[in-house]
Amino acid sequence: MMLLLIFMFLLLQYSSDVYSFDRSYCASTTKTSVYKDGDMVVAAFLPLFTITVDSASDNPSNNNFYIQFNLKNYQIVLAMVYATEEINRNPHILPNVSLGYDIYNVLFNEWFTLDRCITWLSGPKKYVPNYTCRREMKSIAALTGISWIISTGIRTLLELYRYPQLTIGSFDPNLNNHEQFHDIYQIAYKDMSLTHGIVSLLNYFHWNWVGLIVSEGQNGFQIISEVRAEMDRNKICVEFVELIRVSEVSYLPSYLLNPTHLVKSTTNVIITYGDSDFLRGFMLYSRQIFVTRKVWIMNSDWDIITQSQHFILNSLHGSLIFAHHHKETSGYRNFIQTVHPSKYPEDFYLTRFWFFLFNCSFADDDCNTLENCLPNASLHETTGNHFDMVMTEFAYNMYNAVYAVAQSLHKMLLHEVEVRQVRKAEDLTFSVWQLHPFLKNIHFTNPVGEQVSLDETMKLNAEYDILNYWNFPEGLHLKVKVGQFSPYGPVGQQLSLSEDIIEWPTEITETPRSVCSESCGPGFRKSLIEGKRICCFDCIPCPENEISNETDVDQCMQCLDNQYANTAQNHCLQKSITFLDYEDPMGIGLSCIALCFSALTSLVLGIFLKQKNTPIVKANNRTLTYVLLIALNFCFLCSFLFIGHPNTATCILQQTTFAVLFTVAVSTVLAKTITVVLAFKVTAPGRRIRWLLVTRAPNFTVPICTLIQIVLCGVWLGNSPPFIDTDTRSEHEHIIIMCNKGSVTAFYCVLGYLGALALGSFTLAFLARNLPDTFNEAKFLTFSMLVFCSVWVTFLPVYHSTKGKHMVVVEVFSILVSSAGLLGCIFAPKCYIILLRPQRKSLQGHRDKIHYNYKTY
């Protein structure tokens, strides 16, 4: 196969040795180079033909190779011709010195490249090192490209003669090693912002799951490192990385691409980086893999506009291409429209192209003269968009390279005139190596207004046009600008895109998605899956009272204390202020109950005052009875301190008033119980303990017990009094205004002391429950204290299990129920006798076994 390729190439290059003359002979015959004479000549080495692979067979060894004219690279030739003519017309650059060109076709192979280079140095007849058959050597520089293989291959020979070499291919950091490549200059912009541009595009479409296919040659490893680092910073994951080795003979594969990554990958976006060598190798590697529904993101080195009908080109419809941005040269379009074989007879490539494209024929015995062509034919009328009417990226690099040589030569000649005071241009003599200092320091503005410099330290980051490749219907081969990326724009505005005009790959009707896991919407957060990349995750709801109002958040955000999360947990709502208000249904109910019981207590007090001289009222110590009724009345009324908007006064009075009033009530019950016990236990008139009843000593129990409670409340208020507080956690949607008890220990001490009094009263009443007497109230005291203790024992767990204003409701309810228990159990039976059984209230002890003078107590 290799021998066949060499034979085809030699046939193409040296077909003038074939003596039979026919149509096929003229179509294939070529010359050594396209040469235009001038006082100074710039040489160029470009791959004008492409080794194309017909991968119809699954077996790579059975693939067919054929040579094809590369129209895209030929446009670089026209850019060089255009720049040369423009310089020759400009009186301010190289006045009285004409610039010529010498263009050689090379293949992507070191052997063919060196063959052309030796031909240029020695002449077309002999291959003799350090010898030239040319009468006059006018060449001053060599322009090489577009592949780094060509530039590095020719460098070995040119460095022997210190020839300046300018490369028009993509910027390669490896060629910046001036110790190794001290005579090579790069025209292209740096690709430092390319990775940032690609990642910005991925972020724009929210693509975070991509594949990466990169050429191993050139700066592929550096691109992988830069792309992955930038992706990591933006939380974009790479599903697979394919590194394809491009050999010196790029059409002979080093290894095959793993088809599994392309066919079975879940990503819908594949990023590729490489040059035209890489594309040909990739087309062979991929072979019969037909990839659909994938968006390809590529750099502009990919020569996807080609006459090849390789299947992969159909898959590239809808691809997005990053091409270096440059201004349009105004005269280039007119130049293309005027290009004709008759205008450039030395350009045999143009003649052959015209012959095939416009159905021409060659004149007899002349392979340079065409006839019977389509009338008024021009390049801008070519079908299939094979020819760009604006400069492509490499053509623009060639344009700048020619200007860089001309500007450097101009400065060098001016320097020679000043130093040697030469008056005639033809008297100037110099060696090509003398051009290097001027090339290294060259910095100028080209005719389109852009800065050009060969010093990599002065090269600016490139701006990129984002092109969309349209190949539907098949053969359209159109690249449409859909956006631009500028690293100099404000953060967040560096990428501009017209999404509505983008053509997506076949079978995709809307903007495709490329994610490992679907985005977690508001109200959810990401939960990474163990053993997988960060782009693969599960979505779990935010915890209670936490929200996420963005997509794909790692952590939910806690709402402020005065806010709460809505049902969707994507927004914090302001909490409303609430408390046990009089307008609240529970507040209204408790208020009505308190008023009713207070009125009932007042009624009972009124009845007892009216019936104060009856035995049933007199029998149980009227003073204590009145104190108890008044205390119970205030107990009912103190519940109003807990209802309504809390303030400093109510917060301080709530617990202390409740504690003191209930202490009075319970101590009164205790005093009444002690009185009953003493009355029935002191049977002998002469016993010493009888003086307790006579002096009414049990009545002093009330002030003594109350004083102790007042002291406890005073200590509480002195150290840590209650205060107004807010409860933001008890109720989801409300901020509860409440009274903080201050010292919880003091509160439970006060409550414990009250419980001790109640327990003591209950115990004494229980012991005296069976004492005989018509008006003995020991049983009623026992039941009343049983109810009281039951209420407050139940109160403690219920109080601690409730939150917010319900705690206040529980306490108020306990106050009302315990007070009502005392009122009902003690005074209901007596009121029943007084009101409904009046005949019983006058019995003064006819049935009593203990004769006791009621007047004594």
pLDDT of residue 320 exceeding 60: yes
Neighbouring CB atoms inside 10 A of 788's CB total 27
Q: In the block, which residue shows the tokens 């060259």?
A: 442
pLDDT value at residue 260: 64
Q: In the block, which residue shows the tokens 């519940």?
A: 639
CA 740 to chain centre: 44
Please spell the DSSP secondary structure of 304-337, one letter per residue: --SS---HHHHHTTT-EEEEE--PPPTTHHHHHH
* 194-325+462-501 topology per CATH: Rossmann fold (3.40.50)
407: pLDDT confidence band, cut at 50, 70 and 90? very high
pLDDT value at residue 253: 44
Q: Could you tell me which of 443, 426, 434, 427 has the C-alpha nearest to residue 409?
A: 434
pLDDT of residue 854 exceeding 50: no
| Beta carbons within 8 Å of 426's beta carbon, 6+ residues apart | none
For helices 585-610 and 622-638, angle between their N-to-C axes, nearest 10 degrees: 160
| Beta carbons within 8 Å of 126's beta carbon, 6+ residues apart | 133
Give CA–CA dist 578/274, Å, rounded: 68
Strand 478-485 relative to strand 165-167: parallel, antiparallel, unpaired? Answer: unpaired
Q: Which tops the pLDDT comparison, 347 or 771?
A: 347
pLDDT of residue 43 exceeding 90: yes
pLDDT value at residue 413: 86
Per-residue pLDDT of 162-188, as tens digits, reads 889 999 888 877 777 767 777 888 888
The average pLDDT across 87-99 equals 91
Distances (CA, A) of 667 to 658, 661, 671, 781: 14, 10, 6, 12
Give CA–CA dist 37/52, Å, rounded: 33
> Would the CA dihedral through 64, 69, 74, 75 be positive or negative?
negative
> Would the CA dihedral through 139, 140, 143, 148 be positive or negative?
positive
Phi–psi pair at 392, nearest 5 degrees: -75, 175
120: pLDDT confidence band, cut at 50, 70 and 90? confident
Neighbouring CB atoms inside 10 A of 603's CB total 12
pLDDT value at residue 83: 95
Q: Which tops the pLDDT comparison, 480 or 67?
A: 480
Tokens of 823: 């009122």
Assess contact for 831 and 607: CB atoms under 8 A. yes
Domain 585-840 is found in CATH 1.20.1070.10: yes
Assess contact for 144 and 151: CB atoms under 8 A. yes
Assess contact for 502 and 313: CB atoms under 8 A. no
| Beta carbons within 8 Å of 100's beta carbon, 6+ residues apart | 35, 36, 37, 38, 39, 40, 41, 42, 84, 138
CB burial of residue 215 (10 Å; 0-12, 13-18, 19+): buried
Q: SS3 of 559, please?
A: coil
Give CA–CA dist 842/614, Å, rounded: 7
CA 843 to chain centre: 93
Per-residue pLDDT of 808-850, as tens digits, reads 889 899 899 988 988 888 888 888 888 887 765 554 443 443 3
AA letter at 364: D
pLDDT value at residue 52: 59
| Beta carbons within 8 Å of 845's beta carbon, 6+ residues apart | 774, 851, 852
Q: SS3 of 54, please?
A: strand
Q: Which tops the pLDDT comparison, 200 or 315?
A: 200
Quote the mean pLDDT of the chain: 79
Phi and psi based region of residue 123 (left: phi greater than 0; alpha: psi -120 to 50; beta: remaining): left
713: pLDDT confidence band, cut at 50, 70 and 90? very high
Per-residue pLDDT of 130-155, as tens digits, reads 666 655 557 889 999 787 778 877 88
Strand 495-497 relative to strand 478-485: parallel, antiparallel, unpaired? Answer: antiparallel
pLDDT of residue 484 exceeding 90: yes
Tokens of 851: 């004769």
Per-residue pLDDT of 351-391, as tens digits, reads 888 887 787 888 766 677 888 887 778 877 665 556 777 88
Q: What is the largest CA-CA distance in the chain?
A: 168
Q: Could you tell me which of 286, 277, 341, 340 has the C-alpha nearest to residue 310?
A: 286
Tokens of 24: 């096929």
The average pLDDT across 96-122 equals 82
Q: SS3 of 393, please?
A: helix
Give CA–CA dist 187/142, Å, rounded: 13
| Cis preceding linkage at 473, omega within 30 | yes
> Would the CA dihedral through 33, 38, 43, 49 be positive or negative?
negative
pLDDT value at residue 416: 78
pLDDT value at residue 153: 78
Tokens of 402: 């020619």
Q: Could you tell me which of 143, 139, 144, 140 has the C-alpha nearest to residue 123?
A: 139
Q: Quick one: what percent of the chain has pLDDT higher than 70?
A: 76
Per-residue pLDDT of 425-437, as tens digits, reads 455 667 888 898 8
Model-level pTM greater than 0.75?
no
Distances (CA, A) of 482 to 502, 503, 692: 7, 10, 109
The average pLDDT across 454-477 equals 78
The average pLDDT across 602-621 equals 82
Instruction: Go through the chain and tell me how many residues it has.
Output: 857
524: pLDDT confidence band, cut at 50, 70 and 90? very high
The average pLDDT across 631-652 equals 90
Q: Could you tell me which of 32, 34, 41, 44 has the C-alpha nearest to residue 100?
A: 41
Q: Could you tell me which of 309, 256, 317, 321 has the C-alpha nearest to residue 292?
A: 317
Phi and psi based region of residue 54 (left: phi greater than 0; alpha: psi -120 to 50; beta: remaining): beta
Q: In the block, which residue shows the tokens 């020619």?
A: 402
pLDDT of residue 317 exceeding 90: no
Per domain, the residue ranges of the chain are 1-30+345-377, 194-325+462-501, 524-574, 585-840
Q: Lowest-pLDDT range, 288-292, 369-373, 735-739?
A: 288-292
Per-residue pLDDT of 263-277, as tens digits, reads 778 889 989 887 766
Strand 40-46 relative to strand 361-362: parallel, antiparallel, unpaired? Answer: unpaired
Q: SS3 of 699, please?
A: helix
539: pLDDT confidence band, cut at 50, 70 and 90? very high
Quote the DSSP letter at residue 461. B
pLDDT value at residue 284: 57
Helix count and strand count (H, E) for the chain: 23, 29
Task: Tell me the β-bridge partners of 466.
Answer: 322, 483
Give CA–CA dist 338/345, Å, rounded: 14
pLDDT of residue 20 exceeding 60: no
Assess contact for 850 and 857: CB atoms under 8 A. no
Detail the DSSP E strand segments found in 381-536: 443-445, 451-453, 464-470, 478-485, 495-497, 524-528
Tokens of 345: 């007879």
Q: Could you tell me which of 268, 231, 287, 238 has the C-alpha nearest to residue 60?
A: 287
Assess contact for 779 and 769: CB atoms under 8 A. yes
**If you compute the radius of gyration of the chain from its CA atoms, what whole number of angstroms results?**
52
The average pLDDT across 658-677 equals 85
Assess contact for 738 and 731: CB atoms under 8 A. no
Give CA–CA dist 280/284, Å, rounded: 6
pLDDT of residue 313 exceeding 70: no
